[in-house]
Amino acid sequence: MQTRRDWLRSSIGIGSLLIAPPSILSAQEQRDFSPRSLESVIRLSSNENPYGPSKRVQERIKNSFVHSCRYPYAYSDDLAAILARKHGVDPESIIVTGGSTEGLKIAGLTFASNGGEIISGQPTFLAMMSYAKQWGATVNWVPVGADKGYHLDEIEKRISSKTKLIFLCNPNNPTGTLVPAKKLVDFCDSASKKTIVFSDEAYYDFIETPDYPSMIEGVKRGDDVIVSKTFSKVYGMAGLRVGYLIAKPEIASKIRKNIVAMSNVLAVEAAKEAILDEAFYQFSLAKNKEAKTRIYKLLEHLGLDYVPSHTNFVFFHSKKDIRKLGPKMLEKGVRIGRPFPPFYDWCRISTGTLEEVDIFIKGMLEVYNA
């Protein structure tokens, strides 16, 4: 039977470039972090962390079943207090939601419904804009530049009396780009005096730039800034649905007046444990970096440009229509990211486990060397 190393050696001259085997998990890592068995189709399409939830979090969930008869209000309040201490803000500044997507939706509804305008880069994560449009909002799209990053100067130029929110996903999904630190701080300081700036920091934990600022600092200063965070990514809890918003109390109070889909007791207790599990947090970051390195080497071997990523996915120039590449890769047992108009010849691929990345590499070599 051919092993993964055998097929990598024999894969169309790829030679030693990708032959170095992934680091082996230690016995302790296998007990604490080893994911479930491989599925028939590898899902590298949704930027999930397949190593989670950690064993500590799983045990916390099991031990919390006895509380499942209770409504989640008090449990969420406890989590909000923990998060407030973590970020150095007032507990009234924290709104715990059923995933950060719910927070994005409710913020868009609160401030931009009935004709309000949202300014956003394109492409980006669409949850806020798609939902707000259903309630009468308009979206002013600003295309990303050649580097796939935001045109912050152009975004600020477009602010008008109609503008109720500016949406920044930083690092951006799907491009993986990161706004330069000083430019981000200067922009938020200026733009928040004219309208509300919403900063989606779902991928903030993966940033490797030292001392990169979170816009939570703007909240602390009393700026009109809203920050969203999630337990779906680095903590590996996408299926449990826990996220939160951070805003000054006056803004948070307005958001609370709308119906917010809460999380549940088990998920909230899981989030409390995840914050304490520093070992899993660091393990996730290390494995994500290792997986990205292997993906970069593959793309360089195939001559496909990519955007250096500050996330747990890579956006690369596939040179093939994603609407055709997707089905071909699915035949190879790998589900890749959906189309992100207007970049139909670009592909977003999540990092996954190292074994899953090897399967992606094999499928890509077969498709591109057919």
Nearest in space to 305 (alpha carbons), one of 346, 342, 363: 346
For range 333-356, the mean pLDDT: 95
pLDDT at position 20 is 53
**Residue type (1 letter), 352:** G
Predicted TM-score (pTM) of the model is 0.92
Give, as one character, the DSSP assignment of residue 93.
Answer: G
Structure tokens at 313: 């996915």
pLDDT at position 22 is 60
The sign of the dihedral angle between the CA atoms of 178, 179, 182, 185 is negative
Please return the burial class of 160, using the count of CB atoms within 10 Å of its CB with bins 0-12, 13-18 and 19+.
exposed
Residue 210 near residue 190, CB atoms below 8 Å = no
> What is the percentage of the chain residues whose pLDDT exceeds 90?
86
Say how many residues make up the chain. Answer: 370
pLDDT per position as a tens digit, 205-220: 999 999 999 999 999 9
Bridge partner list, 119: 140, 166
pLDDT at position 138 is 96
pLDDT per position as a tens digit, 60-79: 999 999 999 999 999 999 99
Class of domain 56-276: alpha beta
For the chain, domain boundaries: 4-53+279-368, 56-276
pLDDT at position 260 is 74
Q: Which residues of 118-131 are buried (b: 16+ CB within 10 A; e: fewer)?
A: bbbbbbbbbbbbeb
For range 340-359, the mean pLDDT: 94
pLDDT at position 35 is 72
pLDDT per position as a tens digit, 320-336: 999 999 999 999 999 99
The topology (CATH level 3) of 4-53+279-368 is Aspartate Aminotransferase, domain 1 (3.90.1150)
pLDDT per position as a tens digit, 19-66: 556 666 778 887 778 777 888 999 999 999 999 899 999 999 999 999
pLDDT at position 370 is 78
The reply to whether 56-276 shares the fold of 4-53+279-368 is no
User: If you write DSSP's letter for every residue of 250-319 in order, what string do you get?
Assistant: HHHHHHHTS------HHHHHHHHHHHH-HHHHHHHHHHHHHHHHHHHHHHHHHT--EEPPSSSEEEEE-S
pLDDT per position as a tens digit, 271-312: 999 999 999 999 999 999 999 999 999 999 999 999 999 999
